[in-house]
Structure 1
């Protein structure tokens, strides 16, 4: 996950958990309902350009590109919306891309308050969908963005369409111990929040960590810059919120097809296999009604960068899904 750049600030148990977590996340690669009707089969009528009111969502900004059915793209920890540039370039002729950049990440101004940060992001994104009159948009989320996408759909299943989850889990803290509860994870999460909030990781250490998540060195440099420009207090709070929020039971409320793309190859030296990774993802997503899991053979955490053709092949098929009719 993009937020792994802070592991060296955390305890050794947390470091071990997070290193292994990236591989395990990759097993959830393609939650796809093969019987769903095509998402793009019925052309949507031309919609007027959205009129945004940023005051309604102080935890993020949105850049709207393209035309067609709406797709919301949410980046991972420390990453701005620019992480989706290649994805937007591919789809802007077919879809209206609403590209989210979270406050405090990648050089964006930090939010005035981090209290209940990810819950506020969730609620304000749902409010944005309503205010812009987006008809059940597909949501693509990477890492922390995938977690937020799941939370949005579990909270208001009728508000969003199909979900494409890129290397993320409903409850990261339980990756090694499925019996772990959010309450039991709180002390570890609090220690991590305090350590991360005190300052950014040295660039040399961060680059070493990014090498386990991104193959291309030029891309590593880009992600390194974003990490160094991110606000430590915001990053620490976002991690805390993820580690203390267990969505495993909540995903049962999600009504839409979900495609989860996962990566595992970078963590093979730690003992991970494709089969063991898939098993952990299956366990975490067990209550999700409509899902299929696919894993990249060689890609690392940033799958849209690391295994681009495979990612687009999966995303192309997924975006042909349509939202299930409102219940």
Structure 2
């Protein structure tokens, strides 16, 4: 009887965990709907300044992901569950002429959604995101070789608080040149659910959207950061998005991964020009 009670409790615990929402969305304004998709570990509110500088009337939908920013974690797989719930959200809310704006992982989601939803989407803006970052970070490594249970992931999960804080500090410094924003990014990493941070990143490394790009028919603006140099990143972008027919690619004059922090005015000009066309 005792074993039965324990099993039932565990079953209820797993069931409740599985039912946690994968996304949290804050909606405001009236006009053309814009789904703002942040990057890994980043809250949807990161897009507030960008949204405030768009010219026109928009209904904004700021997305945040499970496991980050105080949102309860979900079971793996992580990325595909987020995508599924976003598709459901768009359909349930009957969003039409939808504009997708995504940074980093959010750019991957924007491509994925545009490919699946077809005419529902009108335009896509991708900010510093690659269709397959594994190919650049781990060239030649097949996706099937990356698993949740790995020595590296085990090390990350067991890393002590001080060592993890040092890692978060280096991550923040590498992603923007703005000091106060480095601290902000560090805080997002430290607040993240550790398993989501580790296993969710494995999902992203396995992701390859290059074949999916052929299904995207709407205009796409790709904005890349010139880090470490434009000469290095430009060929990567051209190769990664070769299958995307209707695209415009621009590389920022400076800055790092969070272009909206390092080159905000340039970003606003590029976005507004593209949306007005």
Identify whether the pair has TM-score above 0.5, normalized to the shorter chain: yes
Partner in structure 1 of residue 264 of structure 2: 308
Question: Quick one: structure 1 residues 251 and 198, their matched pair in 2 at CA, closer, same or farther if it must change by over 3 Å?
Answer: farther
Partner in structure 1 of residue 144 of structure 2: 183
Q: Is the Cα–Cα contact under 8 Å of residues 263 and 295 in structure 1 kept in the other structure?
A: yes
CA distance in 2, matches of 1:62, 1:151: 18
Q: Is the Cα–Cα contact under 8 Å of residues 54 and 272 in structure 2 kept in the other structure?
A: no
User: Gaps (5+ residues) in structure 2?
Assistant: 1-17
Question: Quick one: structure 1 residues 283 and 155, their matched pair in 2 at CA, closer, same or farther if it must change by over 3 Å?
Answer: same
Alignment of 1:1-327 (within 5 A): 58-91=21-54, 94-106=57-69, 108-111=70-73, 113-175=74-136, 180-184=141-145, 186=146, 190-199=150-159, 202-265=164-227, 267=228, 273-321=229-277
SS in 2 for 1:223: helix
Matched residue count: 258
Question: Quick one: structure 1 residues 96 and 312, their matched pair in 2 at CA, closer, same or farther if it must change by over 3 Å?
Answer: same
TM-score (norm 2): 0.85
CA distance in 2, matches of 1:192, 1:262: 29
CA distance in 1, matches of 2:103, 2:113: 14
Question: Quick one: structure 1 residues 233 and 56, their matched pair in 2 at CA, closer, same or farther if it must change by over 3 Å?
Answer: closer
- Higher share in helix: 2
- CA drift at 1:88: 2.4
Question: Quick one: structure 1 residues 100 and 158, their matched pair in 2 at CA, closer, same or farther if it must change by over 3 Å?
Answer: same
Q: Is the Cα–Cα contact under 8 Å of residues 36 and 62 in structure 2 kept in the other structure?
A: yes
CA distance in 2, matches of 1:303, 1:161: 23
What's the CA shift string for 1:45-75, capped at 9, x where partnerless?
xxxxxxxxxx998101111122110000011
What's the CA shift string for 1:242-284, capped at 9, x where partnerless?
111211111110111111111123x2xxxxx313311111111
TM-score (norm 1): 0.73
- CA drift at 1:297: 1.5
What's the CA shift string for 1:87-113, capped at 9, x where partnerless?
12224962111000111113x2232x3
User: Gaps (5+ residues) in structure 1?
Assistant: 1-54, 268-272, 322-327
Q: Which is bigger in relative contact order (C-alpha 8 A, separation at least 6)?
A: 1
Q: Name the Cα RMSD after superposition.
A: 2.4
Partner in structure 2 of residue 15 of structure 1: none
Query: Radius of gyration: which is bigger?
Result: 2
Q: Is the Cα–Cα contact under 8 Å of residues 54 and 268 in structure 2 kept in the other structure?
A: no
SS in 2 for 1:170: coil
Q: Is the Cα–Cα contact under 8 Å of residues 55 and 272 in structure 2 kept in the other structure?
A: no
Question: Quick one: structure 1 residues 121 and 219, their matched pair in 2 at CA, closer, same or farther if it must change by over 3 Å?
Answer: same
Question: Quick one: structure 1 residues 191 and 250, their matched pair in 2 at CA, closer, same or farther if it must change by over 3 Å?
Answer: farther
- CA drift at 1:203: 2.4
